[in-house]
């Protein structure tokens, strides 16, 4: 039996040469000491495979049509066999892919893997990062719920800031000058055919380059990269100390990759993908579009940035950022690789991570957004029986003041907390502020009667 199987395998190898094709990749020597730091790239790729497989599954249930996509998603979520789990894996797989790609990128940056002769590895990696973000964004849109539809509009507005051709590109993205029957079909094509084809090609290229140029050896202080001597030195080092990739390095990739896949499957099962936000409707005004977590920092940036420079930032910021990333291996392709000898690299990473994390946290809170769901103030908070104060408190809610101002624990955070405004401002000052607005506050003079104004001011004066 065993003999027969061997015979069949030998025949297959003789006619196809598949093992001979892949053997060099499996057996190629890798530097010793390439340990757990090196697992993030392969884990990112496992996530990609997970995305392809679960994507195929979802495509069997999904209707890529503007009118029915949302209903088919509801079907996947609520009725299809294990559909909720499948969609969950696709969501957490995407999240995992972006997170692990970020960690992988930070690792190769800190260890300066982008230096000679691995410049093209870094550059293909930057392309993969961009393609992955495009996949994430187009994928969020394919949910085709309220948020999905309005995210397309927000993306189109951002592209509109590109000089000269902005408007054309915006309408090109939407597939017309409004969100219509073409929009979803185009995004489906991008998400399922165009971008995956590029993503898979670049992944193959990226991995091929890793084999061609060899896995980078862990950096050592004082060991400089010199383009004249590096390649012969690397070859000699491998011959002396290298170990075959399979299984001596691959086992760590397998262990970590499997753990990642299992965690994703568990999160998908127990937590599940984000709820759908309601029927898609380009004419709805109740939508409150928010990006998925990995782009929340951009959302926060656009809210916090001074409006005057914002347009230029939207237009040129991404170009500068991508340009810098692509230029990195040419700005410094030789010399020291060890992070401790490149303190600015460490500082850069720490600052970038801190900025992105704090913007993300701020974006999730989004204190700049009016709170449309506030309730009228309770009498316990008003804490007064005076008629004008009580009706002033009611007006404070009715006129929408509470959307942006806090009274004790209630209300929005856009404007200042007014729990104790009576101590800070006198009656006249309050009147002037309410009537004229200012400092990012609209003028309410036109929409308040004299009596209403007096009551609101009475209420505010009683806040001490």
- Whole-number minimum distance, CB 365 to other proteins, in Å? 13
Cβ-based nearer residue to other proteins, 103 or 162 = 162
DSSP, collapsed to helix, strand or coil, labels residue 438 as strand
- Whole-number minimum distance, CB 170 to other proteins, in Å? 5
Q: Return the exposure string of 368-402: e unless at least 16 CB atoms fall within 10 Å of the residue's CB, then b.
A: bebbeebeebeeebbebeeebbbbbbbbbbeebbb
Cβ-based nearer residue to other proteins, 22 or 193 = 193
| Non-local CB neighbours of 30 within 8 Å, separated by 6+ positions | 214, 215, 238, 242, 243, 244, 245, 248, 249
User: Within 10 A of 188 (CB to CB), how many other CB atoms are there?
Assistant: 21
DSSP 8-state code for residue 225: B
Cβ-based nearer residue to other proteins, 238 or 460 = 460
Contact call for residues 65 and 184 (beta carbons, < 8 A): yes
| Non-local CB neighbours of 377 within 8 Å, separated by 6+ positions | 393, 394, 396, 397, 402, 407, 410
Cβ-based nearer residue to other proteins, 236 or 279 = 279
Contact call for residues 305 and 372 (beta carbons, < 8 A): no
User: Within 10 A of 164 (CB to CB), how many other CB atoms are there?
Assistant: 7
Cβ-based nearer residue to other proteins, 201 or 284 = 284
Cβ-based nearer residue to other proteins, 122 or 188 = 188
- Whole-number minimum distance, CB 118 to other proteins, in Å? 32
- Whole-number minimum distance, CB 457 to other proteins, in Å? 16
DSSP, collapsed to helix, strand or coil, labels residue 410 as strand
- Whole-number minimum distance, CB 88 to other proteins, in Å? 26
DSSP, collapsed to helix, strand or coil, labels residue 95 as helix
- Whole-number minimum distance, CB 154 to other proteins, in Å? 5
**Where do contacts with other proteins occur on this chain (CB under 8 A)?**
65-67, 149-150, 153-154, 156-158, 160-161, 163, 166-168, 170-172, 174-184, 279-289, 299, 302-303, 307-308, 310-312, 315, 368-370, 372, 398-401, 403-404, 414, 437, 440-444, 446-447
- Whole-number minimum distance, CB 289 to other proteins, in Å? 6
Question: What whole-number distance in Å separates Cα of residue 199 and Cα of residue 192?
Answer: 11
Residue 407 sits at φ, ψ, to 5 deg, of -120, 115
Contact call for residues 425 and 433 (beta carbons, < 8 A): yes
Cβ-based nearer residue to other proteins, 84 or 414 = 414
What dihedral angle (degrees, nearest 10) is formed by the CA atoms of 267, 268, 271, 274? 130
| Non-local CB neighbours of 433 within 8 Å, separated by 6+ positions | 425, 441
Question: What whole-number distance in Å separates Cα of residue 110 and Cα of residue 339?
Answer: 5
- Whole-number minimum distance, CB 204 to other proteins, in Å? 21
Cβ-based nearer residue to other proteins, 248 or 293 = 293
- Whole-number minimum distance, CB 325 to other proteins, in Å? 24
- Whole-number minimum distance, CB 379 to other proteins, in Å? 21
Cβ-based nearer residue to other proteins, 303 or 432 = 303
Cβ-based nearer residue to other proteins, 408 or 452 = 452
Contact call for residues 300 and 363 (beta carbons, < 8 A): yes
């Amino acid at each position: 039996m065993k003999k027969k199987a061997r015979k069949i395998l030998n025949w297959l190898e003789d006619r196809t040469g598949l093992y001979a094709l892949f053997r060099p990749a499996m057996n190629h020597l890798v530097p010793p000491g390439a340990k757990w730091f090196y697992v993030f790239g392969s884990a990112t790729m496992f996530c990609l495979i997970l995305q392809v497989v679960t994507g195929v599954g979802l495509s069997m249930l999904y209707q890529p049509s503007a009118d029915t996509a949302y209903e088919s998603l509801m079907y996947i979520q609520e009725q299809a066999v294990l559909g909720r789990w499948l969609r969950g894996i696709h969501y957490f797989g995407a999240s995992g892919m972006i997170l692990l790609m970020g960690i992988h990128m930070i690792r190769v940056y800190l260890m300066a893997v982008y230096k000679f002769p691995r410049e093209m590895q870094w550059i293909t990696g930057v392309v993969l990062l961009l393609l992955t973000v495009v996949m994430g964004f187009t994928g969020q849109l394919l949910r085709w719920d309220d948020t999905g539809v309005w995210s397309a509009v927000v993306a189109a507005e951002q592209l509109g800031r590109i000089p000269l051709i902005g408007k054309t590109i915006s309408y090109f993205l939407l597939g017309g000058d409004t969100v219509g029957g073409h929009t979803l079909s185009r995004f489906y094509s991008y998400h399922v055919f165009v971008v995956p084809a590029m993503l898979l090609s670049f992944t193959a290229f990226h991995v091929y380059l890793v084999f061609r140029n060899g896995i980078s050896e862990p950096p050592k202080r004082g060991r400089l990269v010199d383009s004249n001597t590096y390649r012969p030195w690397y070859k000699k080092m491998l011959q002396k100390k290298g170990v075959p990739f399979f299984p001596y390095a691959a086992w760590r990739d397998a262990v970590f990759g499997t753990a990642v896949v299992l965690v994703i499957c568990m999160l998908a099962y127990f937590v599940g993908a984000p709820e759908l936000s309601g029927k898609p409707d380009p004419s709805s005004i109740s939508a409150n579009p928010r990006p998925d977590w990995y782009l929340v920092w951009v959302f926060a940036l656009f809210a916090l940035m001074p409006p005057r420079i914002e347009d230029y930032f939207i237009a040129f910021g991404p170009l500068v950022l991508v340009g810098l990333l692509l230029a990195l291996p040419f700005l410094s392709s030789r010399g020291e690789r060890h992070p401790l000898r490149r303190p600015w690299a460490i500082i850069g990473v720490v600052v970038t991570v801190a900025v992105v994390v704090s913007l993300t946290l701020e974006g999730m809170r989004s204190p700049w957004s009016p709170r449309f769901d506030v309730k009228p103030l309770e009498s316990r908070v008003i804490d007064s029986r005076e008629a004008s104060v009580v009706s002033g408190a009611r007006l404070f809610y009715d006129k929408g003041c509470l959307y942006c101002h806090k009274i004790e624990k209630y209300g929005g955070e856009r404007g200042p907390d007014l729990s104790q405004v009576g101590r800070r401002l006198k009656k006249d000052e309050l009147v002037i502020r309410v009537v004229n607005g200012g400092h990012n506050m609209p003028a309410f003079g036109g929409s308040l009667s004299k009596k209403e104004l007096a009551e609101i001011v009475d209420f505010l004066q009683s806040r001490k």
